[in-house]
Each structure stands twice: as structure tokens, then as C-alpha cells.
Amino acid sequence: MAARSALTRRPARRRIAAIVLLVLVVAAGLVVHEGFPASTVTDIAGDALYTGAIYLGIVVLWPRGRPLIVGSLAAGWCIAVELLQLTGLPARWGAAWPPLRFVFGSGFDARDLVVYVCAAAVCVAIDGVIVRSRGAAGR
């Protein structure tokens, strides 16, 4: 109950924090993508940061969303995009306009599905702790 009241009382604060974090996560993703050689580690890091960015984007749009629901939506989006890659459409879109590769990727990798779920779970856990601590501080 305290988590819900904290979300209800402070949606503007949560939205602002999510915007700031989203900028930092996108910057980190660009650093990983452009600053390090392609490897399994950078691929996993990029996937985790992508999931974090989607999570934060949802919080920006819906600051009253419960962490578990936001995390489920973020994981669902990431999985849907990964499955869309099986059609070849994202690869064509990325060839036509390269920045779309950052949103839709280009090739399917089953490992990414696991990374998305794990990264969303980490986002839910971190956000849940923050929401609960704000709820306790507000009492």
C-alpha cells in the first residue's frame, strides 16, 4: 500500500528522475555501441541498457505505473521487437535509415530474450526499492 501512495503522491518527481536517467542510459548505450569493440559482453550490455531505456521511457509516459507492470511492459516491448527481427523488416528499416537500428535492431538472437527479461527484473527491483523508500520517507 505504501508503494502505491508514493506513486500517487509524487508522479512529477518520478517522471523527472526517469527523464534524467533515460538520458544517462541512452548516453551509456551509445558509448557501449560506439566506444567498444563488438563482443558478447557489449551485446549483452547494450541489450540491458536498451531494456532500461524502454523501462524509463514507460515511466516518463506513465509515472504512476507500478514497477512490476512497467517492467512487464518493457520486457514485452523488447521481446516483441526481437521477434519482429525474425521477419527481416527491422534490417530493411535500418538499411533505409540507420538510426532505426538503435530502436529495432537488425537480427534475431535468442540470448537477447533472456537478457531482456533479466534486465527488466533488475529495473523492477531497483524501482521498487526507490518507490518503497519514498513511501516510507513520506509517512
pLDDT at 133: 85
* Local confidence pLDDT in tens for the 139 residues of the chain: 455 556 666 899 999 999 999 999 999 999 999 999 999 999 999 999 999 999 999 999 999 999 999 999 999 999 999 999 999 999 999 999 999 999 999 899 999 999 999 999 999 999 999 888 877 565 5
Domain boundaries, position 97 = 2-137
Coil, helix or strand for 49? helix
Backbone phi and psi for residue 2, each to the nearest 5 degrees, phi listed first:
-60, -35
pLDDT at 9: 67
User: What is the Cα–Cα distance from 55 to 67, expressed in whole angstroms?
Assistant: 9
pLDDT at 134: 77
What are the residue ranges of helices labelled H in 1-139?
A: 2-9, 11-35, 40-61, 67-84, 89-96, 100-104, 110-137
Instruction: Yes or no: say if 63 and 15 are a contact pair by the CB < 8 Å rule.
Output: yes
pLDDT at 131: 85
User: What is the Cα–Cα distance from 22 to 29, expressed in whole angstroms?
Assistant: 10
Number of structural domains found in the chain: 1
